[in-house]
């Protein structure tokens, strides 16, 4: 059976997260921004703020939780990818934040400003 047209769990979660955030007033600008040092699942705008979103999807509640899956190393890779995006789009100095969307057992939890990002001088 060919499942090539069926989205993976991660793709499904990102689509659900994008709809969820759009329903709450964010505008999705980009999906799957990838660089060799990291990737960003969703890039959104919340008024004047650029929002870099990590989406974690689980089919049921696990230990460790989806939140625990965002390790310090994963955050560092997310920060570097976000900084790359901001430089590429010439957005240095713009307001930015890092959000997390957790989807566990079809329950969605959005954590705005989930963790602090680096300053531009960090890189």
The number of domains in the chain is 1
Confidence at 71, pLDDT banded by 50, 70, 90: confident
| pTM of the predicted model as reported, rounded to 2 decimal places | 0.85
pLDDT digits (tens, 9 = 90+) for 75-112: 999 999 999 999 999 998 899 999 999 988 778 999 99
In a domain, 81, yes or no: yes
CA angle 35-36-41, nearest 5°? 40
Q: Residue 79 maps to which CATH number?
A: 3.40.1350.10
- Integer angstrom CA distances of residue 27 from 14, 20, 30, 31, 92: 14, 11, 9, 12, 20
In a domain, 3, yes or no: no
In a domain, 83, yes or no: yes
């Amino acid at each position: 059976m060919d499942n090539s047209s069926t989205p993976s769990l991660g793709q499904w979660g990102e689509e659900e997260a994008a709809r969820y955030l759009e329903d709450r007033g964010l505008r999705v600008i980009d999906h799957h921004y990838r660089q060799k040092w990291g990737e960003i699942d969703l890039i959104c705008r919340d008024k004047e703020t650029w929002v870099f979103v990590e989406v974690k999807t689980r089919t049921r509640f696990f230990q460790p939780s989806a939140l625990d899956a965002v390790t310090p190393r994963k955050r560092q890779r997310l920060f570097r990818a976000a900084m790359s995006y901001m430089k590429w789009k010439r957005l240095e100095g713009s307001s930015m934040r890092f959000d997390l969307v957790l989807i566990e057992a079809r329950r969605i939890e959005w954590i705005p400003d989930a963790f602090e990002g680096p300053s531009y001088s960090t890189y």
